[in-house]
Structure 1
């Protein structure tokens, strides 16, 4: 500014500008200024108000009607309720007159008191006419001006402008009745109640002359126009009642209005119904329980799901099903794996009992298990969650009465481990078996009793379970073969003629020229002169006299028999005598010469009587020369040398003259007349004594000629025809036995386990070889024996079925004779210089369970790191992948296609078959990534 009083910036009305003002200042509240160019403001006067704003163009504003304004106020004050101000500019408010009301702040004109209310002086809230009265006009000043309710009606509330209604049926209402029900403060001047409610237990309809009794199934508390139906959950068997009875437990009283709870619903199966329950939904037996009975009264009567079962839903009438295999449900289970239990389970302290779970290691749980089943004596359960035992404990190990955790326990768990020394453990052993007396074993892991070694010969093993076989030498006077259990075995005492020093493995015979006539001796004595000592157990004395027929020198071990042609009558002879003529001394050691027997003649010093020749006989003893033998008489024949009488009468069909030597025709047996002395029966027939003609040989026999009886066909042949000289070879597929068969079918059809070639005489020669079997009959040759099928082995000959399954860790591709395929069907055809095998040890990269016909590839994501596995070694390690055929190592190096380290840009969790791509938005430049 260039001047102190600029015309364009003079102070306007409503503002003031003291000296030095930079701007016009508005008048403060309660002050005003209606002139311009003022340096100060003035205080507001009574009856007016000054807001202190630039909107005021005069020096003050008039206080409005309904308000009052004192001195120096900035705003008007509204008249409080109970007062009013009709005119503007009021300094004070007036009291609201009697019969009127001033309800709101800022009342300008009092309002007449409304009908149903009365208004005293200074009223701000009209008072209602009391119960039992009404006000049918406005401007009522006092309560006394409210009119009593007329007879026949009632005024049930305050502030009525007319009676509420006519008295309800069953009620008596005099003037001033305030309700239809009886109360203590509504008495008539005569002392009677102004009104009476319909009595409890009854109901009163409009205009009724008397109360009606409420029927069964309803209730009436009093003052009712109609009976109230018993609510759901209650019933009423009686009339004239003020309340219903709670429905007993075991029932649901529904629908409403029941007179008998049995008219309702008996609690159905799958539910429980507590007293007064209104809905079946609230009574569903909880999960983990069921109920197959009706009328249950509370939740505790819902039956826990039985052991071995699960109850998955609420409201079940029967269990949902069996507990899953590999899990056990001990009772109250709501899931097949026992992961959720009956919620009613009572807790003890801070923990609640479970209802089952995963079958633990060392036990198994078939479907429907209520508790884990211990693996069982001699078996093992190697993992959790099994539904059956893994298998029997391996031979060479034992698994106690509760079973084990491994097929080959290491002994860290009590009751199982490697079979200890001195014992043996077959497959499935519960308690190691002691090696029997007479055996021992110093090694562990014995599988069979045959692994127990017989006690060392010359020693004995008196105890079971011994680990040393040479601890106890056999006692002197006894000998101990291998396998003895006592040191003086009664059956192995040294007999007379033998000696047994201590530790003898066998009785030692006394050597020649020595003897021992006592038993249980440990040494022998020398023989005396004039006798013989053989050095055998037959001697029961210290020497033996040289017997008759023998001669003995000095200190001999055996007597020498007189040679044939000599004799010695007396015992103790030193020399033998020549046999006399007419007598014979045939045998070495002859005691008395024997007369030459009939049919023979004997020269001097005879040791072998000479037989009378063919065609002669000798019928007396003591013949000295051949000339004394007699010719055979006519009608008989002397067919051999040394006869005492003719052989027999001539056979039927033969002619025999004197001196005949046989019944068959020969060139040198002619009579003096030139006729043959005898003729043989023809081939194909036989001739009995005295027969006039030859008899034809029957079927099943054969006759080669000159036979007195037919010959039976030998085993392995048969003959279906008569008059035959030979039999037919039995056909393949049969064994012609016994001898004499006319038809090969009368013999034995080749049985199962055998083959029968043509003419075979014995089934033993036709047993199907090891590695084969036959369950059919009539096999004709060895090629028809069936190779043992893949996965099986045939250990013996002559089998009608395979012996069993191929051992775990091996495979049997067909024709195996051992459980490990180490021996094959010997019939295998060779190609060049090598023969095809029949299986063997399961190779690396595969596994072979029991009964494998071929190795099983290890499988996607797994590896088989050694040969001889019966199951996969495990999953491929994280950071590596093993393809669809599996791998040879948990961490393959990639040299085998389809497996190796996880490549860059991918990741491989445990058991990866195909490497997983790193997701969009990520990358990896390294190999061997394990996780995303």
Structure 2
């Protein structure tokens, strides 16, 4: 938004904003981005914060780190399985907890010290953090389980073994002292620190005790000298007085016996190599194929070089598969070569950073992404998709485009087009649930609508409710109203006075004849009138655009207007009546708008008012015209005839009585002539 005088708010949880950020959830990598793996970003973060030791974050977009679970160690924010020889309780960081002397741990993922295995009987575990026993108990001693030294004294650590007792013999690796067989014996010579194996009685000797067969050798019957029969390479014999080759022991796993006549192994197998059993060199090479210790080729193989896809630390009894997320790309590796390449995942045993066999790993499939060191693909989150394989980061998952929605994680394409009645605008955020974006009032949203204002109800219509699906659901502007702009949720206002908005009007004074027109003649239209109002009886209007009742004209004098909505008077007032103005009938009788013509007056058709009869004439009421005053009467203008007085005469049409001339008289009323005076 332009013109802000303060920041719009804090950066969202799981994101960091470096500056000039326009959204709380930036993903452009310049002004900010999703919090990366191994880090956490609380609200308002300017940069990702590394997870502290003992905590991890295996996913992007996290606002806090999780405690490292038991059986794992967490450093630099990443979680890894606890290595052999150690145990890792919850929240283990860069410092592991070694299994104590007397115990060992051959497995990954140990969580408690109690799960470190007791050193097996006949062996000793003399150091901290062992993944296998240190070696067999020394000749002359026996070691019960849990021994931490090869020569237990029997005093300070009576629970883990002791010196071989008289009458018994204890070769290397003895867990229980063995009784000397018939014909042999064993004692403890003064100054000796261990008890030797039982003596035997060779031929042609007078004293067996002076010719014991030395350790590392065996002396069958007829042996001429002590070193005549050495144990061969790959074997050792910690006990003296052995009688046969069977007494020579195969060199233990992870070790080699490099020369004849050994009493103990020469050392541990070299890094990058593994020694199965009876190895006579630190780099055995007689193994053609290896799948497990139970499947060797040839069956007499003693070991071999670690092949690609595996690694062999020093003293390995067998190859270790390359761990998930890592690769081992060469033979003879003591440690994995490195992390799996971004865009690929390494499930375990991978021979290269970009495996494609589908077993040890593969290219990251569509719908997911694989950061460096991925053990498995991570699904693109809901609201996004990935149509291409080999995506390397969450940022390469494509946001669901406007007009579509992506409702589940792991999509290779959008779920579908936005549903009708809703809109899908990618600027609003991840498009997961279309029901969060109902089409607003004033607009309609067909399938695939990409913004709230994409389809507006046109001018002349409005949309009063949400979720309209088509143009047909927009309501036509009602009569008496007008809808001036597109996208209205209600009419703009009332139609102007003097105009009639018939329906669908875009302006307040329509003149197109379809949506509206000026108020028709014979009518008047106040503001917002849904229909023109008729001028009442007694009035008329000959022009369009009348706005008020007062603008209807009273019916003119001499005329009448007998119905509503008249554009002209109905006609002239009837003969014998006069119409003064506003007459509703041709024969008005109310005395205001008109009346019957009064006596002494005449009213021809169309009279505005009664006209007095001229002198010498008269008319009865309702008179259309005047008649001559009858003989014997005289007629004053506008009055009824009166009898002619005595002494006068009134011929027909007399306006005033005429006096009898001299020599005549008239003794009676209502005479038309005078009588001559009698003689005399």
Superposition TM-score, scaled by structure 2 size: 0.37
Superposition TM-score, scaled by structure 1 size: 0.28
Taking CA–CA contacts closer than 8 Å with sequence separation of 6 or more, which of the two structures ends up with the larger relative contact order?
Answer: 2
Larger Cα-atom Rg: 1
